[in-house]
Amino acid sequence: MLNNSINILVLDDHPLVCAAIQNLVSSISFVNKVLTSTDSKKAFDIIKVASIDLLILDVNLGDNDGFDFYRRIKSHGYKGKVLFISANDSQLYSNTAFNLGANGYICKSEDMSLIKESLEGIMNGYTFFKFNDNSGKFKSKITLSNRETIVFNYLIQGRTNIEIANMLSLSTKTISTYKRRIFDKYKVNNIVDLIKINESSV
């Protein structure tokens, strides 16, 4: 678990979204301060002068493009973590965020409480992205919900059901249900095969 407090910046061109996320993550024990901005230029200025550990960033900004903004702050020395959010549940967007070196991608249509779970994982070194199978082994694309993706990431890291349950404050029975759904979607019967599929898709 995290012992140090972190500072978060939320950048979204919708004030209500900023306020909702700020209210949501402010209650997390390891969060020190949550700043918000609806303007990318102001956000850039904040990053230059403030110590921002995590940026929660919308892909589509009214005055800018989220991906371009991330490239720009990285080129100016930003070393913090980034979680992209978007109203578009797009595999292309998720892949782009991953390829840029972001730490996660979450669709706004998902339960917003998942952001809290994702943040804890991201600050502990994990990444959170939806996985589609492109190997040709499966005729249809495999898409995991964000909660399934969180469990997926912990499973392929070798975490046990009990460990995952404790980290997400869920019952082991609930984790077993998510695990079975993931296995069913990928048509596997064990973690080893799941890891092999994940490695082959990277």
Q: Which residue has the higher pLDDT, 137 or 117?
A: 117
Q: Is the pLDDT of residue 98 over 70?
A: yes
Q: Mean of the pLDDT values across residues 177-202? A: 81
Average pLDDT over residues 43-53: 95
- For residue 44, count CB atoms less than 10 angstroms from its CB and return exposed for 0-12, middle for 13-18, buried for 19 or more: middle
Predicted local distance difference test score (pLDDT) of residue 81: 95
- Once rounded to an integer, what is the mean pLDDT over residues 146-165? 84
What is the β-pairing status of strands 60-61 and 64-65?
antiparallel
**Please, what is the average pLDDT of the chain?**
84
Least reliable range by pLDDT among 25-34, 71-80, 81-90, 149-158 = 149-158
Query: Quick one: 139 exposed, middle or buried, by C-beta within 10 A (0-12, 13-18, 19+)?
Result: exposed
Taking the C-alpha atoms of residue 64 and residue 47, their distance in angstroms, rounded to an integer, is 16
For domain 1-130, give the fold: Rossmann fold (3.40.50)
pLDDT band at 138 (very low <50, low <70, confident <90, very high): very low
pLDDT value at residue 137 = 44
pTM to 2 decimal places? 0.67
**What pLDDT, on a 0 to 100 scale, did the predictor assign at position 6?**
93
Q: CATH number of 131-202: 1.10.10.10, 1.10.150.530, 3.40.50.2300, 3.40.630.30?
A: 1.10.10.10
pLDDT-based confidence at 63, cuts 50/70/90?
low
- At 85 the pLDDT is 92
Q: Where are the domains of the chain?
A: 1-130, 131-202
Residues near 149 by Cβ (< 8 Å), separated by ≥ 6?
128, 129, 130, 131
The CA-atom distances, in angstroms, between 123 and each of 7, 87, 135 are: 11, 23, 30
Asked if the model's pLDDT at residue 95 lies above 70, the reply is yes
pLDDT at 16 over 80: yes
Over range 32-56, report the average pLDDT: 95
Average pLDDT estimate for 156-169: 86
Structure tokens at 155: 């499973």
Is the confidence at residue 143, as pLDDT, over 90?
no
